[in-house]
Amino acid sequence: MLKLPCNSADQIQALASQCRFLTHHHNRPRFTCRSNVVVLCSPVSKSSVVQAVVSEGGTTRVDSVRESLTNRLRLGSLTEDGLSYKEKFIVRSYEVGINKTATVETIANFLQEVGCNHAQSVGFSTDGFATTPTMRKMHLIWVTARMHIEIYKYPAWSDVVEVETWCQNEGRIGTRRDWILTDCATGQLIGRATSKWVMMNQDTRRLQKVTDDVRDEYMVYCPRELRLAFPEDNNRSLKKILKLEDPAQHSKLGLVPRRADLDMNQHVNNVTYIGWVLESMPQEIIDTHELQTITLDYRRECQHDDVVDSLTSVEPTEDSELQPTNGSATATAGDQDCQDFLHLLRLSSMGLK
């Protein structure tokens, strides 16, 4: 179940692109065999040597370099205490919509990228999203269970955004990761996000409790005191998503995952779900509003051969407590244009959420 409050002005643009294959005789697509490359990075300091263990074609080698090209070009690093990570992103032309501001999918991709880079900077593997040594031995991966994003001001094309992230323990079955987004030019807070992650066995696709060994591996990089992106009491990230009643007021049926929607965990990436949610939004809302807050509960995986239905209904007014924030973290009185929606993504064949 998903919840989508909106306010102000944004439009969603569908981009169509053409592609062609390099062909040989008889116009047959030409493909080459893919080799498997796994890179394990050790924690980086300005004076340390990076040890890169590369496995390719069944052969393993260790590469030692003063500093990798990736680390030199990446605009990110651990903070002074080593317990959070900051990275700057330039909003590219292909990351904005028709109004020249970043799309919500772009923001979500920033969050995912800085989280992965944080894990890589402390030596966790790039073979999967932030897997620790024990997780790799046990064939475990992290998957998103819940995501809450609030955007107070969308960055424009060529703006520079700094994203800070940190992770913390979240009970016995998961971990949490929070983010703060800042406009580098003004220092203004433009967004916040929080998420919950759980472990899944990559072979059985079943959830598994976080073991003490795994917890010990990542907890040394977590803040000692509880730090929350949303410290306010009764903040919107804590709200339970209401059930969307049948029949839905709006729908988009038969959505099919593209190959590009699949990630390294062999399922549809969590950011793709946001785009599917917006597919069933009324066009008049898309034309006159911009998404301010979105909360997603992920119930099950979506595979490449699944077909998905996107359902949307207006949230009843008495259940909607969210007010527009007009670019700040504090709600303002007098703005009455905020509209809340409930969403549901389900598998077309079985009706599963």
Q: How many other CB atoms are there within 10 angstroms of residue 245's CB atom?
A: 11
Rounded Cα gap, residues 7 and 338, in angstroms? 5
CA distance 343 to 248: 9
φ/ψ of 319, rounded to 5, equals -95, -10
Query: Quick one: which of 48, 91, 97 has its CA closest to 68?
Result: 48
Neighbours of 31 (CB within 10 A): 8
Which of 245, 246, 261, 232 is closest to 319 using CA atoms?
245
Say whether 302 is catalytic: yes
Q: Are the C-beta atoms of 182 and 162 separated by less than 8 Å?
A: yes
Catalytic residue among 118, 148, 267, 289: 267
H or E element, residue 119:
helix 104-121
The answer to whether 338 touches 162, Cβ cutoff 8 Å, is: no
Q: Is 267 a catalytic residue?
A: yes
141 to each of 63, 65, 92, 270, 348, how far by Cα in Å?
A: 26, 29, 30, 14, 27
Which residue of the set 7, 302, 338, 343 is catalytic? 302
What 3-state DSSP class applies to 244?
coil
Question: CA 177 to CA 259: how far, in whole Å?
Answer: 27
148/236 Cα distance (integer angstroms): 8
Q: What is the torsional sign of CA 129, 133, 137, 138?
A: negative
Burial group, residue 203, by CB count within 10 angstroms (0-12, 13-18, 19+): exposed
In whole angstroms, give the CA distance from residue 260 to residue 39.
22
> Catalytic pick from 7, 117, 167, 265?
265
Tokens, residue 47: 């004076």
The encoded tokens of residue 320 equal 């909607």
Which of the residues are catalytic? Answer: 265, 267, 302
